[in-house]
Amino acid sequence: MTTRTVTIASSDGLHARPAAEFVRAVEATGLPVTIAKPGGEPVDADSILMVMTLGAQYGDVVALSAEGEGADAALDSLVELLSRDLDAPTA
């Protein structure tokens, strides 16, 4: 199992739109990925409902875990995604 930690950079946390973008990215990996807050139970990261129920806010640290071929690269890309402010306006 490969694990990474990342600090949520979205100014409003993982609410609907950033959570949906994250879930789409997880699904694109084709790997089973979980996300968890410290001390909490990991949840399936390909479920928008489960991701939103984490209540991850700006500045919270979460742990991502994945298994399978390409897990390192997949988690690196997911960490990069969550390290950006997904609420920032795009040009």
The set of catalytic residues is 15
CA distance 20 to 9: 15
Distance CA 18, CA 88 (A): 10
Q: For residues 45 and 22, what is the distance between their CA atoms, to the nearest angstrom?
A: 8
